[in-house]
């Protein structure tokens, strides 16, 4: 069976607090999927970079990296920059990679918006 890893990629920021958000997100995903190796990377401005995270995935024995763009919408970063950086990093480590759709619009987001708004 193919060894899969999930890599969450956000934009990256100069603010440590913004970057830490993705680490908390990765922790939340691990709680939902305890057997899945989950990694995190920033597209730019902060480490770990996408290249560094693919190296971690390879070192952990992954054969295929599923990249989830931690973005609400499918803008240029999600459509172009992240797939390009991931393809380069995957090739460097002989890994397969697949970039998933970002959050987009979904009933779960609608429910969370209502919860955050105190309306649920």
Q: Does residue 28 belong to the site contacting a second copy (CB under 8 A)?
A: yes
Annotation says 11 is catalytic: yes
Q: Does residue 25 belong to the site contacting a second copy (CB under 8 A)?
A: yes
For a second copy, the binding residue among 52, 55, 66, 83 (CB under 8 A) is 66
Strands (E), the chain: 4-10, 38-42, 64-69, 96-99
Q: Does residue 73 belong to the site contacting a second copy (CB under 8 A)?
A: yes
**Cis peptide, bond prior to residue 8, ω within 30 of zero:** no
For a second copy, the binding residue among 45, 60, 92, 109 (CB under 8 A) is 109
Q: Does residue 21 belong to the site contacting a second copy (CB under 8 A)?
A: yes
Nearest to 94 by CA among 62, 67, 49: 62
Query: Is 95:61 a contact under the CB 8 Å cutoff?
Result: no
SS3 of the chain: helix, strand, coil, percent, to 5: 45, 20, 35
For a second copy, the binding residue among 3, 45, 60, 72 (CB under 8 A) is 72
Q: Please report, as ranges, the residues that interact with a second copy according to CB under 8 A.
A: 4, 6, 8, 10, 13, 15, 18, 21, 24-25, 27-29, 31-33, 36, 66, 68, 70-73, 75, 98, 100-114, 116-120
């Amino acid at each position: 069976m193919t060894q899969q890893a999930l890599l969450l990629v956000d934009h990256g920021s100069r603010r440590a607090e913004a970057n830490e958000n993705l680490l908390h997100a990765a922790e939340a995903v691990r709680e939902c999927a305890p057997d899945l190796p989950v990694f995190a990377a920033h597209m730019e401005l902060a480490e770990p970079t996408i290249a560094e995270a693919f190296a971690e995935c390879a070192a952990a024995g992954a054969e295929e990296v599923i990249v989830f763009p931690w973005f609400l919408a499918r803008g240029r970063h999600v459509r172009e920059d992240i797939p390009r950086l991931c393809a380069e990093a995957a090739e460097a480590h002989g890994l397969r990679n697949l970039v998933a759709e970002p959050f987009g619009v979904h009933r779960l987001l609608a429910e969370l918006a209502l919860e955050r708004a105190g309306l649920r």
